[in-house]
Amino acid sequence: MGKILEKINEQMNFELESGYIYLSMAAYLKDRGFDGMSGFMHKQAHEEYEHAMKMYGFLTSVGKLPVFESINKPAANYKSELDVFQQALQHEKTVTSRIDDLVDLAREENDKRAEIFLQWYVTEQVEEEDVFTDLVLKLERADGKFSALYLLDGIIAGK
């Protein structure tokens, strides 16, 4: 019996943890008065929940019981709005490398259903990294100036 289903279960928990981190970031941004950025992070948190539920659905459909683990406490404070988005980008890079490892393992174990299932996540991660990279760049250019940050808050609200 291969390890891939165990590892997808682990990733399901990590997706939930990602959502928890983004919720904490949303709370920080709301506290700082950036409702647009906060709403964006709420949306990301919801997406992470959906990513986890897709895995939940896959596991149940192949006869593997999904097991939920404890979720680590996320950071409550950040240095700045830029810091939040830089950390989120870093986090997405971690997710990408974890998904890549899962694909490698599915191939190693010649589990085609898992490999095909994981393709969706490979594509999704390209989009996620692209979105966060763009926002980090914009925030770097804002250089902590409130007028620019408020302008960006409106732009990010629409994403």
Residues near ligand OFO, by CB under 6 A: 15, 18, 48, 51, 92, 95, 124, 128
- Angle, helix 35-61 to helix 81-108, in steps of 10 degrees: 10
Cβ 145 to ligand OFO shortest distance, Å: 29
Q: Confirm if 47 and 120 have CB atoms less than 8 A apart.
A: no
Cβ 147 to ligand OFO shortest distance, Å: 30
DSSP 74: P
Residue nearest to ligand OFO (CB): 51
For ligand OFO, the closer of residues 15 and 81 by Cβ is 15
Please, which residues have CB within 8 angstroms of residue 53's CB and are 6 or more apart in sequence?
A: none
Please, which residues have CB within 8 angstroms of residue 79's CB and are 6 or more apart in sequence?
A: none
For ligand OFO, the closer of residues 83 and 124 by Cβ is 124
Residue type, 151: L
For ligand OFO, the closer of residues 114 and 149 by Cβ is 114
For ligand OFO, the closer of residues 42 and 51 by Cβ is 51
Quick check: helix, strand or coil at residue 27?
helix
Cβ 80 to ligand OFO shortest distance, Å: 21
The torsion region of residue 82 among left (phi > 0), alpha (psi -120 to 50) and beta comes to: alpha
Cβ 8 to ligand OFO shortest distance, Å: 13
